A and B are shown apart, each in its own frame.
Chain A
């Protein structure tokens, strides 16, 4: 009887080559979560499958020196979301206008929020609706995708300086909106 060693941990780069289904198992939930936060659960259900199908078809483009496939997958998901940009902006606008998040309202398990938190959320939604698509994408990859700046740069294939400047611009808009709310007595 031979002594078996624990199998080596496979990086995402290994899985891209050898077992794409396991790559799915590793990241599907988190990619779905990101998609759902951007587009709603119903849309995310379909976009998730599309993201991985495209990823599989394009796996030749995966940089094998990258052990974590999340930025790459988010980049593909972002391309799909871009085609839904109008719907995405509309739902942020509706959220800002009504104070009710149309995405969160889709599911029954929604936790009731305090009124002031709802106000803050609606304000943020208004900012999101007003951002350029490029700035919004960087902002949400950081806030919802939990990617680092270099990972966002990877995901979007843009220089890291561009990530910083877009994020800086987006955050300035958020702060400006918060200051305006406080000035209006809503803070």
Chain B
């Protein structure tokens, strides 16, 4: 008998796992899965994969948006005449009517849609880039420790549809519930504390190369709602009902989302806003599509990461542990961002008590030349 055969037989007669043990482990898993809206998570992982790094390296857009947490998108320059406002229509009087504070979600969304359409997109000249930057706080989980990790993710979108895209992601900060937690993570994976930047370039919204010329671990993804590229977004319907139907059709029913397509569509809308490159007419349609989603709650006084005031619409995730909130300014039509809040105990009260924000993002944008990152 070969030495490996003998070894292979060792402990081969151990009994099969107890079904109760498997059921308990599965239950722990599905409870964890229920904590985070799956659509968010999915795009988070996708984008992360696209950016070619493990947990510590986040994602551009969707990363932020994705994780579910409080994602706040702030568009730089919104207060400046030269404002670069790719996220929304921002014109303060774009609708040409006196502003009256909306008192419900429907009127607030209609107002935002009007302003998005009339304001249009920033002008990115030939050879120029739309530079979208996000500061992201989100929850990480490593070796049993939950902590918060801050990144800056930047993307440079070329004016030329076939031009080279650039990404840079920089790890900025970490926050731990205790010094013991920090020591544990430091011992397990010191890379979490590295303040280095990750670079990549690519085409049509998808990274394909690193500075060393290596391809990304995960190859280009099929463009779609989970991987929205400018070309893909340009082809989507602008009629709100057709747009919502297209988004809902793209949501894959699973045990993760209970097949709750309207809620998943709501989360998807937030993600698309946060890409930073949805064109103005699509942004207007997204606002109007959101009006068609049932069960949305409205908050008149909401603030973004920088303390700017707006309103918010929100909807609980399928399992009701987290609530996704989209924050926007109805006065200017500007999309400010989103956040996800813990609304039911997820049995992690030390780290994420009810009412806490899972993660948050601030976004800014301007027009630049080619960054030539490498």
Contact = CB atoms under 8 A, between A and B. Distances in A.
Interface of A: 16-22, 24-25, 28-29, 32-33, 36-37, 41, 44-45, 48-50, 52-54, 56-65, 101, 103-104, 107, 109-111, 120-121, 124-125, 139, 142-144, 171, 174-175, 178
Nearest to B19: A29
Interface stretch (B4-12, B155-163, B267-275, B319-327): B4-12
Interface of B: 3-4, 6-8, 10-18, 21-22, 24-26, 28-30, 32-33, 41-42, 44-46, 48-49, 54-55, 141-144, 217-219, 252, 254-256
B26 A24 contact: yes
Most buried by B among A37, A56, A110, A124: A56
A116 to B, nearest CB: 11
Given A28-B25, A48-B25, A120 B6 contact: yes
Most buried by A among B4, B17, B49: B17
Contacts of A57: 32, 55, 141-142
Contacts of B217: 63
A9 B308 CA distance: 49
Given A45-B21, A103-B14, A144-B8, A19 B26 contact: no
Given A61-B55, A174-B3, A17 B26 contact: no
9 closest A-B pairs by CB: A60-B45, A49-B25, A60-B48, A32-B17, A57-B141, A19-B254, A37-B11, A143-B7, A174-B3
A140 B365 CA distance: 52
A37 B14 contact: yes
B7 A174 contact: yes
28 contacts: A21-B26, A28-B26, A29-B16, A32-B21, A33-B17, A41-B17, A49-B28, A49-B29, A52-B29, A58-B55, A59-B41, A60-B48, A61-B49, A62-B45, A63-B218, A64-B218, A101-B11, A104-B11, A104-B14, A107-B15, A109-B15, A124-B6, A139-B7, A144-B8, A144-B10, A144-B11, A171-B4, A175-B3
